[in-house]
Chain A
Amino acid sequence: MAGIRFRNVSFSYGDKKILENFSLDVEDSQIMCLLGPSGCGKTTLMRCLLGLNKPETGEIYVGERCVFSREKRVNIPPERRGIGVVFQDYAVWPHMTVLENVCYPMKKHGLPKDEIAGKARYALEQVRMSDYAPYLPSQLSGGQQQRVAIARALVSSDEVIVMDEPITNLDAKLREEMLIEIRQIQKNIGTTILYITHDQEASLQLCDKMAIMNADGSLSQIGTDEDIILRPAGRFVFEFIGVSNFFRLTKKNNSWCFHDDENLQYPGTVPDEYSSCVDMGVRPNDIVFDDSSQVRGKVRRSVFLGSEYNMFIDFGGQEVRVQRSTFDDGAGTIQEGADVGLKFLNPVFYHAKEA
């Protein structure tokens, strides 16, 4: 059991800087989700941790053990870092059976035979692949191969496991089951898991903590899931986590207006720190219909999604997304083309972006 520490890690491919002075702590026995848009350097960071990429600067610790340090000239090869890994493309060895795949890491670590057999059986049970032990990967579906990869990672280390998008190929139901399973396994063994994904729903279900990475490879925010959802640290995090609507408000005659239009006033308050122009972000489910509101729009389209309605509202030429729960009063009665009043709850304000 060990935590992971990145200290000022930098890495670039040729001239392209991927990571610059990146630091991150993953606490012992936690699941940390590293969330970021594709191409932001998540996978590169994972490869640095595994020892497959050599950073240009910085240090990486697994527990108290330094696995990489530029200054101390330490670079432990991947096979001695003791980190389990689930690769994005599973990397299940096609010439070995499921059982051989799972046993291989333990053989390499020199475990006794009966212990290997027991652990392999247990790991395959955990990912529900026990019946497939003698199969070759080519006989399995993508999702099954992914589960073999997870089982293999579970037996390769009880300290740290890194998972790079490990469940993308599973169907929705199995995905949820796997997430619960991973959570359960982690609780049982106490492994530290660094879970890399761009799927925020998976990370919300799974993680103890989330780290949001910017497109340029820097960290935007680290915190619990509630922190990130309820108190996003910046516009990037707000936009990245879930769907958002943005409104440009400008100050005219001491009141805040939409669309530079004096007659279209924003009824709420704007923090004093903004002087002339501000962007207001509102989640789709934080916009409610209120006939008494002066802010009016027209329902363009309403899509029924089972538990909720997804509505697209034309607000003076701007498309606004609104989500209404099916069980809200009168949610189903609003017809396309109807004229509605809009009320904004929980708005967040950011400095206006250059257009």
Chain B
Amino acid sequence: MFRRKNTSDLAAMEGRRLGLDGIMTGLSFVLLFIIVVIPIFMIIYNAFFYQGKFDLTLFTSVIFDKENLKAMGNTIIIAVAVTIFGTIMGLFYAWLLGRSDIPAKGFMRALFTIPYMFPPFFGAMAWDLLFSGRAGYINRWLMHTFHLRTAPVNINSLGGIIFVECSYYFPFVFMQVVSALERMDPTLEESARIAGARQSQVIWKITLPLVKPAISAGALLILISSLAHFGVPSILGFSKNIFTLPTMIYALINRSGGSFEGIRQGTALSILLVAVVAVALVIQKKVLSSGSYDIIKGKSMRPTLIKLRGAKYPLLFLACLTLLVIVVVPLVMIFLVAMVKAYGLPLVWKNFSFSNYQKVFASPATMDSIRNSLFLSVTAGVVCMFLGVMIAYVINRIRPRGRNVLEILSILPYSIPGTVLAIGVILAWSGAIFGVTLYNTIWIILVAYMARYLSFSMKSASASLQQVNSSLEEASRACGATHTESLRDITLPLIKPAMVSGFFLIFLPAMRELTTSILLYGPYSRTLGVQIFALRDAGMIPQAAALASVAIVIIIICNAIVTWITKDRKGA
């Protein structure tokens, strides 16, 4: 079926028609076709075709609907604002921690990456508890203390959504830029100083242009993530009827009770969302067209640090305050509310108990959701780990015709919003593929996770395979090992670290996933994220907080395991 390049066709002339290479190549194409191509095709088809005929009426009516247009506007406003503020924030703190002589760097750096680990909707929940209208704890305290008649801060607004998303997405830029700054050759800056440039000129003319690719990569991540983001706007916006495209799609489908008409409307909106993302990508590329520089070296060097002098302690205070606000406050809030007997009671000692945890662990639905999430994350992690290696191997080593297609297909779902992917998966697995119906089962969530996260393990394995010279495998062939034996004895052991990290790259986000699961769950297939969302939605806020705190503990433990494993590898 797929013609392979002459050079790798080792077994074909020997009578064996289909070798291991052929099987892997074929399997990669077929799997990606089923997992990725069919859902995408189903979305496009259902948006433009009705009962087999080309039909634009639905599409135009949905697009020109006033509410939907407003949602689109909100989506764009939020995404642009989050990208701008998040980038500035990430850049500032990256420079502060990467290039200045501010104290306690290592500690602060670890804290600054914390928001990266937690799902933003936890933060939204916490801030909602503090600042939602008249009910929020801080709002009530402020009104009481200063005798205000209205709530001073309203988190249930575009501004609130932007603030919360910012505090969770700025690490994208922060982490990219910090590592670029670390790998940058310090002599580049030093020679500019020697040539007579002032410190501020060096920052603007040398440092900033050199880390521009890192900034633009981070900003792009923020933009795409924010455009597709579901959790924060749903938690903060629903009560005030503020919708973005992803939450609108959810609301449409939810309102129609999962009927086909609702899904069809969601499909049309999905096309709109994808179009916005695509336009954003194009504009971003134009605005921040990134040149690549070779001056950033692979090895780590000690850069010259800029002395902050008098600004040192004010800046340290600012950094600590930021950390307090974006990391400590939401986490503490979740744990405090998880202990409180009933929502609204003052957070004092006598109101605390563990009854919420008892309720959470006594509820079969909640325990089910933990079990489901563990099952889904582990399964998706393991399956994608092997699929990712296989596809990476086909792309990098077997190099069949159409390997570019293979590469694009495996990376594509990553830039498709989770909401859209979920709809595609619903359409595809409601009988469209060989009549298989997975709707309302846990398997449809698994399929969606696989499509969504496959690129993580594929990229990780691909990068690792490129480090493993193909002559290593060729040498083992010449030494008498068959193709399969060479893979097992040489290639797989060498890329094992990448496989392990690929697994965790999938396991961790899958564990806290909300965006796709919320559209795909059925009565018996709630996930952890869905259950927290549902508990909160039903007004059982302390219980939702309790479950969220359990999720936080699970995430922290898993992260500790990852750190431990990766450290072990480095030491070996």
Does B67 reach chain A (CB closer than 8 Å)? no
Q: How far is the CB of B154 from chain A (nearest CB, A)?
A: 58
Q: How far is the CB of A111 from chain B (nearest CB, A)?
A: 10
Does B159 reach chain A (CB closer than 8 Å)? no
Q: Mark A81-123, 1 if CB is under 8 A from B, else 0.
A: 1111101110101110000000011001100000000000000
Inter-chain contact A79/B481, CB cutoff 8 Å: yes
Chain B residue at minimal CB-CB distance from A138: B572
Does B200 reach chain A (CB closer than 8 Å)? no
Given that A50-B474, A91-B472 are contacting pairs, would A73 and B479 also be in contact in the complex, using a CB cutoff of 8 Å?
no
Task: Tell me the residues in window 475-494 of chain B with beta carbons closer than 8 Å to chain A beta carbons.
Answer: 475-483, 485, 489-490, 493-494
List 16 A–B pairs whose Cβ atoms lie within 8 Å, in order of A's numbering. Answer: A54-B7, A54-B10, A54-B13, A56-B6, A74-B13, A75-B12, A77-B14, A79-B481, A89-B469, A89-B471, A91-B471, A93-B472, A93-B475, A93-B494, A108-B485, A156-B478
Q: A74-B14, A104-B489 are known contacts; what are 15 more A-B pairs with Cβ within 8 Å?
A: A50-B478, A51-B10, A54-B6, A54-B10, A75-B10, A75-B14, A76-B14, A77-B14, A79-B477, A84-B479, A87-B471, A95-B493, A95-B494, A108-B480, A149-B475
Inter-chain contact A78/B489, CB cutoff 8 Å: no
Given that A89-B471, A95-B493 are contacting pairs, would A81 and B14 also be in contact in the complex, using a CB cutoff of 8 Å?
no
Q: Mark B450-487, 1 if CB is under 8 A from A, else 0.
A: 00000000000000000001011011111111110100
Inter-chain contact A85/B490, CB cutoff 8 Å: no
Q: How far is the CB of A136 from chain B (nearest CB, A)?
A: 9
The residue that B474 contacts in the complex, of A54, A82, A84, A87, with Cβ under 8 A, is: A87
Given that A74-B13, A91-B472 are contacting pairs, would A104 and B479 also be in contact in the complex, using a CB cutoff of 8 Å?
yes
* Chain B contacts for A52, CB-based, 8 A: 7, 10, 474, 477
* Chain A contacts for B9, CB-based, 8 A: 54
The complex places the Cα of A73 from the Cα of B403 at a distance, in Å, of 28
Q: How far is the CB of A267 from chain B (nearest CB, A)?
A: 55
Q: Mark B2-18, 1 if CB is under 8 A from A, else 0.
A: 00001101111110000
Q: B interface, by DSSP: helix, strand, loop or mixed?
A: helix
The complex places the Cα of A149 from the Cα of B477 at a distance, in Å, of 14
Q: How far is the CB of A50 from chain B (nearest CB, A)?
A: 5
The complex places the Cα of A95 from the Cα of B569 at a distance, in Å, of 12
Q: Mark A31-62, 1 if CB is under 8 A from B, else 0.
A: 00000000000000000001111101000000
Given that A73-B13, A76-B14 are contacting pairs, would A91 and B474 also be in contact in the complex, using a CB cutoff of 8 Å?
yes
* Chain B contacts for A156, CB-based, 8 A: 478-480
The complex places the Cα of A81 from the Cα of B483 at a distance, in Å, of 14
The residue that A77 contacts in the complex, of B472, B482, B490, with Cβ under 8 A, is: B482
Inter-chain contact B10/A77, CB cutoff 8 Å: yes
Task: Tell me the residues in window 485-518 of chain B with beta carbons closer than 8 Å to chain A beta carbons.
Answer: 485, 489-490, 493-494
Q: How far is the CB of B483 from chain A (nearest CB, A)?
A: 7
Chain B residue at minimal CB-CB distance from A162: B478
The complex places the Cα of A74 from the Cα of B11 at a distance, in Å, of 10
Q: How far is the CB of A20 from chain B (nearest CB, A)?
A: 16
* Chain B contacts for A89, CB-based, 8 A: 469, 471
The complex places the Cα of A273 from the Cα of B476 at a distance, in Å, of 55
Q: Mark B109-124, 1 if CB is under 8 A from A, else 0.
A: 0000000000000000
Interface size in chain A (residues, C-beta < 8 A)? 34
Interface size in chain B (residues, C-beta < 8 A)? 26
Given that A87-B471, A91-B469, A91-B472 are contacting pairs, would A105 and B13 also be in contact in the complex, using a CB cutoff of 8 Å?
no
Does A283 reach chain B (CB closer than 8 Å)? no
Does A209 reach chain B (CB closer than 8 Å)? no
* Chain A contacts for B482, CB-based, 8 A: 77, 79
Chain A residue at minimal CB-CB distance from B493: A95
Inter-chain contact B480/A79, CB cutoff 8 Å: yes
The residue that B478 contacts in the complex, of A56, A79, A93, with Cβ under 8 A, is: A79
Chain A residue at minimal CB-CB distance from B474: A52
* Chain A contacts for B7, CB-based, 8 A: 13, 52-54
Chain A residue at minimal CB-CB distance from B480: A108
Given that A104-B489, A105-B479, A156-B479 are contacting pairs, would A78 and B11 also be in contact in the complex, using a CB cutoff of 8 Å?
no
Does A198 reach chain B (CB closer than 8 Å)? no
Q: How far is the CB of A158 from chain B (nearest CB, A)?
A: 13
* Chain B contacts for A152, CB-based, 8 A: 475, 479
The complex places the Cα of A82 from the Cα of B477 at a distance, in Å, of 10
Inter-chain contact A78/B469, CB cutoff 8 Å: no
Q: How far is the CB of B566 from chain A (nearest CB, A)?
A: 17
The complex places the Cα of A324 from the Cα of B474 at a distance, in Å, of 47
* Chain A contacts for B489, CB-based, 8 A: 104
Chain B residue at minimal CB-CB distance from A70: B13
Inter-chain contact A78/B477, CB cutoff 8 Å: yes
Task: Tell me the residues in window 88-124 of chain B with beta carbons closer than 8 Å to chain A beta carbons.
Answer: none
The complex places the Cα of A234 from the Cα of B493 at a distance, in Å, of 51
* Chain A contacts for B480, CB-based, 8 A: 79-80, 82, 105, 108-109, 156
Q: How far is the CB of B266 from chain A (nearest CB, A)?
A: 47
* Chain A contacts for B475, CB-based, 8 A: 85, 87, 91, 93, 149, 152
* Chain A contacts for B13, CB-based, 8 A: 54, 73-75
The complex places the Cα of A75 from the Cα of B14 at a distance, in Å, of 6
Chain B residue at minimal CB-CB distance from A164: B471
The complex places the Cα of A304 from the Cα of B12 at a distance, in Å, of 60
Q: How far is the CB of B496 from chain A (nearest CB, A)?
A: 9
Inter-chain contact A93/B6, CB cutoff 8 Å: no
* Chain B contacts for A82, CB-based, 8 A: 480
Chain A residue at minimal CB-CB distance from B11: A77
Q: How far is the CB of A331 from chain B (nearest CB, A)?
A: 47
Chain A residue at minimal CB-CB distance from B9: A54
**Which of B9, B12, B477, B493 is packed against the most chain A CB atoms within 10 Å?**
B477
Chain A residue at minimal CB-CB distance from B494: A95
Q: How far is the CB of B11 from chain A (nearest CB, A)?
A: 6
Inter-chain contact A78/B490, CB cutoff 8 Å: no
Q: How far is the CB of B399 from chain A (nearest CB, A)?
A: 12
* Chain A contacts for B490, CB-based, 8 A: 93
The complex places the Cα of A77 from the Cα of B14 at a distance, in Å, of 8
Q: How far is the CB of B97 from chain A (nearest CB, A)?
A: 32
Chain B residue at minimal CB-CB distance from A73: B13
**Which of A54, A81, A149 is packed against the most chain B CB atoms within 10 Å?**
A54
The complex places the Cα of A74 from the Cα of B493 at a distance, in Å, of 32
Inter-chain contact B471/A77, CB cutoff 8 Å: no
Chain A residue at minimal CB-CB distance from B482: A79
Chain B residue at minimal CB-CB distance from A94: B494
* Chain B contacts for A104, CB-based, 8 A: 476, 479, 481, 489
Q: How far is the CB of A58 from chain B (nearest CB, A)?
A: 13
Chain A residue at minimal CB-CB distance from B496: A95
The complex places the Cα of A213 from the Cα of B462 at a distance, in Å, of 37
* Chain B contacts for A105, CB-based, 8 A: 479-480
Chain B residue at minimal CB-CB distance from A12: B6
Q: How far is the CB of B269 from chain A (nearest CB, A)?
A: 46
* Chain B contacts for A56, CB-based, 8 A: 6
The complex places the Cα of A109 from the Cα of B481 at a distance, in Å, of 8
Given that A74-B13, A75-B14 are contacting pairs, would A84 and B471 also be in contact in the complex, using a CB cutoff of 8 Å?
no
* Chain A contacts for B472, CB-based, 8 A: 91, 93-94
